[in-house]
Structure 1
Amino acid sequence: MSGGQWMVVMIVLIASFSGIIKAKMGIGRRRDRRDYGVADDAAATAENYRLKSEISNLKERIQVLERVVTDTEGSVRLDREIEKLRDARHD
């Protein structure tokens, strides 16, 4: 077999093998080339929505924490207020 024929045989074998693997795993495509299966499942869609909402909430919390950490004037003021409360409690 020449080099070109060998390459054609290898391509056919690889394509066949990947088709078998996809069939075993249940992976398929629609006519419009979109994957189907888990993405169309209502539970997966609900979970996706829940996770997006959770990520949004976590991003908001991170912004608040960044603001608290970088607000040096507010933290100094807060330290003074805490010290005043401690002093008033000890008097």
Structure 2
Amino acid sequence: MNLWTMIFLIVLVGCATNVLTERYRAMGRIEKRARKESGPASTVDESAVQTRELQELRERIKVLERIATDGNSVDANETRRIAREIEALRGDQPG
């Protein structure tokens, strides 16, 4: 590859990069314009969706906390101990 071919390729890559950058910027401007034109109605819808998602996440966290704490309670430990004793007795039986 000679010097002029390398210079040409470097310029070509630079131009392609500029074209792609401007394309993505234009897409962003079009998207911003579309959001502005849609008005506050979509903002209310988005707010309602976000509120519902937040409530669902809080419920999931409550369930996970209950699972984490119930697994470490005295009753759960007692249940596990009894289950281990039963399994140990089953293992002692001739089969």
TM-score normalised over the length of structure 1: 0.52
Poorly superposed stretches of 4+, deviation over 3 Å: 19-23
Match of 1:17 among 23, 32, 49: 23
AA in 2 matched with 1:58: R
Q: Identity over aligned residues, as a percent?
A: 6
| 1-structure distance, mates of 2:70, 2:43 | 41
| 1-structure distance, mates of 2:64, 2:18 | 51
Q: Deviations over 1:8-39 (max 9, x none)?
A: 3122221233245546xx5227xxxxxx839x
Q: Which has the higher strand share?
A: 1
Higher Cα Rg, which structure: 2
AA in 2 matched with 1:61: V
Q: Which has the higher helix share?
A: 2
Aligned match of 2:93: none
Structure 2 unmatched ranges of 5 or more: 83-95
SS at match of 1:60: helix
Q: Which has the higher contact order (CA 8 A, sep 6+)?
A: 1
